[in-house]
Structures are given as structure tokens and as C-alpha cells.
Amino acid sequence: MSKTSDLAKMIDHSILHPTMTDGDLKKECEIAKKYDVASVCVKPYMVPKAVELLKGTDVLVGCVIGFPAGNSTIDVKVFETVKACKDGAVEIDMVINIGKALQGDWEYIENEIGAVTGVSHELNAIVKVIFETDYITKESDIVKLCQICTKVGADYVKTSSGFGFVKGDDGKYSYVGATIPNLKLMKASVGSDVKVKAAGGVRTLDGLIAVQEAGCTRCGATATVTMMEEAFKRFGK
């Protein structure tokens, strides 16, 4: 596999913005096919159409669960996961209950991640667990979440949803997403069978390479065209 192909197969092409239509889905799936990325990550109702659009390609279909704020009950997240898998998703990106994590209710978090992971694996899908590190900022909490994900057998730990906006004192919202220190911490805190996915704020080829060097094997991205065209220029096809 070439350097460019290797980078492409890190990318989960995100098709998640609330305003995206079926027309946008078709356009973005064409981009995913063109660059032969690892997967598309879509909204739940889009799964059947994405499966249809990507039939016969090596691009997998992933679906978000409890997205973007993670506030659904465990039963609802499980139901949503079953529906997504039966519709054809083979990768599940779930958002944890952020409030429960912040209050240190680790039993709840373990039950939640374990329930979604269990049903996903029964239905032959892998699970990526979204921590939302713009909200979960304490290193000790990130480490604890990594330990729980390792214990219950989740496949990936993931930084962000892409929508974890923090409201400042001026009333304006800001967002950071994946950072190299958090990615390195997550990589160091999971078991050998758990991988790391960067998501949020990675918009350039250099950014993609940086998260790869930090230990990530997947990266959520909307700037796929920008990154891949630069890769073609720098490394060839």
C-alpha cells in the first residue's frame, strides 16, 4: 500500500452536519469512493442509502449513536445501534453520557459502553466510543474512560463528535476537537486491542500525519478532498 493509500484508509469521511440532505449524501459518498477512504460516518436515517451508494466498493458505512450530545438512555442507544446495524452499518460511533462521566458515575458509563459494544459485536459491527474531550477535560477522566473501554472490549476510543461547542463568557461558542496531547494520553491508556480515532479539527494533510504519528489509525474528517489532493502532490498515488 502506498503512503497516500495508507493515509486514505485512516479517514472516516464525516457526513454529519444537520443541514446535509440526501443530495449531499450522494455527493459526499462519491468523494469517499474517489479517494477510497476507510469509511463514511453518517446520520442514522442515511445508513440504508449510504450502503446502496457504496455497494461494490471498499468503503465501509458507519453510523453515529446518541449523537451529538450523548443524552439518550442506554436502551435507546442500544435500539439505535441495532437499527443501524440491521440497516447495514458495520461501524458504530457512540457518544457517551457526558454528564455521567463528569460526575464520576463510572458504573453507568461501563454499563452504557458495554451494552452498545455487546450488541454491536453480536451484529458484526465495531464500536468507536466518543469521549467529547472539549467537555471531558481532566486527564484522570480520560484515562478512566480508556480503562472502561478496554475492559468492555470496545474497538476504538475517539476524541470528539465534531459538535462539542463550549460557550464562553462572551456568549460565543468555541471548539477544539482532537489534540495531540489527548491522543497520546488515550493511546497510552488503552489496552493493546483498542485503537484510537482522532476527530474534530483535523483539516490538513499535516494534521492527518500528526495524528497518525500520535498513534491514531482512524481520523474523522470533512476536509477529505483537501487532505487527499495534497497527499497526491506530496507522495503521488
Average confidence (pLDDT) over 75-99? 98
Strands 218-221 and 11-15, by their bridges, are parallel
What are the backbone dihedrals phi and psi of residue 151, each rounded to the nearest 5 degrees, phi first? -60, -40
**What's the pLDDT score for residue 237?**
85
Segment holding 82, helix H or strand E:
helix 74-86
Alpha helices in 105-166 (DSSP H): 106-122, 139-152
Strands 91-95 and 60-65, by their bridges, are parallel
Average confidence (pLDDT) over 96-103? 98
Residue-wise DSSP of 15-26: E--TT--HHHHH
The active-site residue, picked from 77, 128, 158, 195, is 158
The active-site residue, picked from 128, 144, 195, 197, is 197
Whole-number Å distance between alpha carbons of 84 and 44: 6
Asked if residue 8 lies in contact with residue 35, where contact means CB atoms within 8 angstroms, the answer is yes
The active-site residue, picked from 12, 93, 134, 141, is 93
Whole-number Å distance between alpha carbons of 237 and 228: 10
Residue 1 — pLDDT band, cuts 50, 70, 90? confident
What are the extents of the domains in the chain? Answer: 3-235
The rounded Cα 117 to chain-centroid distance in angstroms is 14
Which H, E and C letters describe 183-217, residue by residue? HHHHHHHCCCCCEEEECCCCCCHHHHHHHHHCCCC
E strand residue ranges, 26-147: 39-42, 60-65, 91-95, 126-130
93 is catalytic: yes
Q: Which CATH class is domain 3-235?
A: alpha beta
197 is catalytic: yes
Structure confidence by residue, pLDDT tens digits, 165-217:
999 999 999 989 999 999 999 999 999 999 999 999 999 999 999 999 999 99
Residue 6 — pLDDT band, cuts 50, 70, 90? very high
